[in-house]
Amino acid sequence: MTLKVGILGFGGLGQAAAKLLSAKQEMQLVVAADKEGFAYDRNGLNALDAIATYQSKGSLGHLETGHLTQDSIAEAIATAKDVDGYFLALPNLPNTFMASVAKQFIASGWKGVLVDAIKRTSAVEQMIALAPELEAAGITYMSGCGATPGLLTAAAAIAAQSFAEVHKVKITFGVGIANWNAYRATIREDIAHMSGYTVDMAMAMTDAEVEALLETTNGLITLENMEHADDIMLERMGICDRDRVTVGGVVDTRNPKKPLSTNMQLTGRTFEGKISTHIFTLGDETSMAANVCGPAFGYLKAGKQFHQRGIYGLMTAAEVMPAFVR
């Protein structure tokens, strides 16, 4: 059975997600939305056409199957009733935006699977608070299912199995992108983690201000002790307290080569009293897009299996094994 899939948000991650799906047999992209419009075709959208139109004309609404509208999410949900699940590749700006989109789905009466790749602890907490409403609405919501949180949090949950007590989880990411423009929300949200900045400040910055800031750092954003939901996702599973989890990294906005190898290191004590560290390192050739979109659809497929069994509500990447999408 081929799952009909939607993508909300058609920036860096949304476009990569569309490309990734075009090579899959088990999932078909039928609807996608950006800020200015959406396109829906029950027989499938062509990823390359969609990307070309978005890049040249600014919105999917200019496609033959498209509609230009300032209320694209609500209209896409109402139009594409046959969609099994959505990947929410939207910016979480302000920090309450994704929760407001989840509420829109709840209010619409649509039933299916939603997957996000949100990052902040406070953003995932908002989703956890919505769990009873999602459950009552017949929605299976998979939160924090990108790379970090996501793939690396899941790796920590697996690594923890060797230990009687987990002392420390340290996630360090390296991201290289040729141009910050390709991932504007990601970069703005990263700036919001820099000392002296907030989400509201980063959201309000003009493009010229972002460029001026990146000019002062030679295009690099170095982050430490970020507010990242990997902490509550692992705490929720009883793996360790949130204060034992740290996330940081380096983003190079001027070079597609990763400035460092993304890795997760989990240190713990085994039942025999030995202290040791498991390390999970991502291949340097794998892009942020590959490490976010791959897991997101793996969790969408897993979410669909729960949904078919009548299991609704909220789950995170730390509590479910992603399925593999062929």
Q: How far is CA 268 from the centre of its chain?
A: 28
Q: Does 252 bind ligand NAD (CB under 6 A)?
A: no
Query: CB-hemisphere CA count at 13 Å for 173?
Result: 27
Query: Which residues are 278's β-sheet partners?
Result: 266
- Report the nearest approach of ligand NAD to the CB of residue 147 (Å): 4
The single residue among 6, 9, 174, 322 that binds ligand NAD, judged by CB under 6 A, is 9
Nearer to ligand NAD by C-beta: 232 or 268?
A: 232
Q: Does 91 bind ligand NAD (CB under 6 A)?
A: yes
Query: Which residues are 116's β-sheet partners?
Result: 88
| 3-class DSSP assignment, residue 133 | helix
The residue number with the shortest CB distance to ligand NAD is 11
- Report the nearest approach of ligand NAD to the CB of residue 119 (Å): 5
The single residue among 147, 166, 171, 266 that binds ligand NAD, judged by CB under 6 A, is 147
* Amino acid found at 53: T
Any catalytic annotation for residue 170? Answer: no
Q: Does 32 bind ligand NAD (CB under 6 A)?
A: no
Any catalytic annotation for residue 193? Answer: yes
Instruction: Tell me 45's DSSP state.
Output: -
Site for ligand NAD in 253-292 (CB under 6 A): 288, 292
Q: Does 6 bind ligand NAD (CB under 6 A)?
A: no
CA distance 42 to 115: 21
Any catalytic annotation for residue 119? Answer: yes
The tokens 């829109």 sit on which residue?
104
Question: Which residues have a Cβ under 8 Å from the Cβ of 187 and sit 6 or more positions away?
Answer: 180, 210, 221, 251, 253
Q: Does 236 bind ligand NAD (CB under 6 A)?
A: no
> Residues 49, 65, 71, 74: is their CA dihedral positive or negative?
negative
Question: Which residues have a Cβ under 8 Å from the Cβ of 156 and sit 6 or more positions away?
Answer: 169, 171, 230, 234, 239, 245, 264, 266, 318
Q: Per CB under 6 A, which region of 28-36, 125-133, 196-204, 302-310 contacts ligand NAD?
A: 28-36
Element containing residue 170 per DSSP (H, E):
strand 165-176
Binding mask 111-140 for ligand NAD (x = CB under 6 A): ------x-x---------------------
Q: Per CB under 6 A, which region of 141-149, 204-212, 259-267, 300-308 contacts ligand NAD?
A: 141-149
Contacts with ligand NAD by CB under 6 A: the residue count is 29
Q: Does 105 bind ligand NAD (CB under 6 A)?
A: no
Longest dimension (CA), the chain: 64
The single residue among 3, 4, 7, 11 that binds ligand NAD, judged by CB under 6 A, is 11
Q: Does 249 bind ligand NAD (CB under 6 A)?
A: no
The tokens 């070079």 sit on which residue?
255
CA distance 186 to 102: 20
DSSP secondary structure of 136-154: HHTEEEEES-BTTTBHHHH
The single residue among 28, 53, 65, 72 that binds ligand NAD, judged by CB under 6 A, is 72
The tokens 């990947």 sit on which residue?
87
Q: Per CB under 6 A, which region of 27-35, 129-137, 257-265, 269-277 contacts ligand NAD?
A: 27-35
251: left (phi > 0), else alpha (psi -120 to 50), else beta? beta
- Report the nearest approach of ligand NAD to the CB of residue 184 (Å): 4
Give residues in contact with ligand NAD (CB under 6 A): 9-14, 33-35, 72-73, 89-92, 117, 119, 146-150, 183-186, 189, 288, 292
Catalytic positions, written as ranges: 119, 189, 193
